[in-house]
Each structure stands twice: as structure tokens, then as C-alpha cells.
């Protein structure tokens, strides 16, 4: 790849996300691209017995209820591991041993968000934390083999969940 040079970057919107327009030179051509600046996040593959603990929640952008791994933003001054422990407590009411599984950009064509996915084992129930205003979560404990089938047959269509569950399943063989 030839040189990439940023020519101009202008902020369009600031709020819970940031939107900017970048103009850059790529292989001698000028390109305009809108970029969503989003906090990095965490996701958790919570394993208990031979099951995975997932959540259902309404996602406005998709206009449907999705089956997902517990996940959320990394707050300011929080490490990814701390964020994973907090999100797991808030969303599913568990604490446990966390180990890194993978890191992935969720939508690198237009977003800066990098998700750190952890596997949680040795789970113990704790008092469930407070949910965010936009969360209406139901907890679903599903056999891992069933969850993998749902990823492959389109019943789970959340990309972070598919990637996390398949990565976990692949490394656990």
C-alpha cells in the first residue's frame, strides 16, 4: 500500500459518539470518509457448566430484539478487564475468572470501536448491578452447542456474538 496522508479532519457532531469527516490521500487519490468515533468496548463469553450465558435486548438500530453476549463500553480510567467484570455484574449478575479471548474492530469501515472479548469461567452469582437506561435485558442460559448452531443458522445475527462464540468454540477443541 502506498502512502496515506490525512489532508483534513473536521468534527461534524459530538455527543455519546463523535462524527467526523476525514479527507485523505490514498494511493494518489483523494478520499472523503465519515468516521464514527466510539469508545472501545468489552464482550464476555460467560461459561457455566457446558452452557453460555447470553442476553436478549432490544436494539433500536436493528429494530429488533437480539440474542447477544453481555457487552458494553469501557468507561474512562477503566481497563478492559475492569469493564468486563463490571458489565458482567450489571447485565447478568455474575463474577468470575476473566481471560482474554480476542480483540476485534466491530465496524472498521466507519467506526473506531475496538472490542476486547473475555471468557468468564468459575462463575458465582452476585447482586446484579444497575442497567443503563436503554437496556431491557433478559438472561438466557443456552448450551454452547446450541448457541453455535444458532450462530451458523442465522438465529443469532449479532456479529460480536458470532465472532466471540465461534472463537471460543474453536479454541476449546
Q: Shortest CA distance to 112 belongs to which of 85, 79, 86, 74? A: 74
- Confidence at residue 131, expressed as pLDDT on a 0 to 100 scale: 60
**Res. 128: pLDDT tops 90:** no
Contacts of 66 (CB under 8 A, 6+ apart): 56, 57, 59, 156, 157, 158, 161
- Indicate if 69 and 11 belong to the same structural domain: no
- For residue 112, the model assigns a pLDDT of 97
Mark whether 127 and 46 lie in a shared domain: yes
Which pLDDT belongs to residue 2?
Answer: 66
pLDDT band at 172; cut points 50, 70, 90 = low
Same domain, 12 and 64: no
- Residues 19 and 48 both lie in one domain: no
Please indicate, yes or no, whether residues 20 and 68 belong to a single structural domain of this protein: no
pLDDT exceeds 80 at position 132: no
In this structure, the answer to whether residues 12 and 87 fall within a common structural domain is no
**Residues 81 and 159 grouped into a single domain:** yes
> Can you list the pairs that 58-67 forms with residues at least 24 positions away whose Cβ atoms lie under 8 Å?
58/136, 60/134, 66/156, 66/157, 66/158, 66/161, 67/140, 67/150, 67/155, 67/156, 67/158, 67/161
For residues 9 and 51, state if they share a domain.
no
> What is the pTM for the complete model shown?
0.92
The reported pLDDT for the residue numbered 89 is 95
Does one domain contain both 66 and 125?
A: yes
**Containing structural domain, residue 82:** 41-171
What pLDDT is stored for residue 3 in this prediction? 81
Rounded to the nearest integer, the mean pLDDT of the chain is 93
Residues 97 and 129 in one domain: yes
**52-84 pLDDT, tens digit each:** 999 999 999 999 999 999 999 999 999 999 999
The one-character DSSP state at 167 is H
Confidence at residue 127, expressed as pLDDT on a 0 to 100 scale: 78
Q: Do 109 and 132 have their domain in common?
A: yes
Number of domains, the chain: 2
Amino acid at each position: 500500500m502506498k502512502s496515506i496522508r490525512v489532508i483534513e479532519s473536521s468534527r461534524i457532531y459530538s455527543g455519546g459518539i463523535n462524527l467526523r469527516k476525514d479527507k485523505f490521500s490514498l494511493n494518489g487519490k483523494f478520499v472523503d470518509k465519515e468516521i464514527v468515533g466510539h469508545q472501545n468496548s468489552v464482550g464476555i463469553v460467560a461459561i457455566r457448566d457446558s452452557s453460555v450465558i447470553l442476553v436478549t435486548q432490544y436494539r433500536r438500530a436493528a429494530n429488533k430484539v437480539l440474542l447477544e453476549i453481555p457487552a458494553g463500553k469501557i468507561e474512562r480510567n477503566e481497563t478492559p478487564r475492569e469493564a468486563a467484570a463490571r458489565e458482567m455484574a450489571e447485565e447478568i449478575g455474575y463474577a468470575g475468572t476473566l481471560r482474554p479471548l480476542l480483540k476485534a474492530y466491530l465496524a472498521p469501515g466507519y467506526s473506531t470501536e475496538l472490542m476486547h472479548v473475555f471468557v468468564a469461567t468459575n462463575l458465582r452469582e452476585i447482586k446484579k448491578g444497575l442497567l443503563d437506561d436503554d437496556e431491557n435485558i433478559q438472561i438466557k442460559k443456552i448450551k454452547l452447542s446450541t448457541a453455535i448452531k444458532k450462530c451458523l443458522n442465522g438465529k443469532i445475527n449479532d456479529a460480536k456474538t458470532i465472532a466471540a462464540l465461534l472463537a471460543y468454540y474453536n479454541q476449546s477443541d
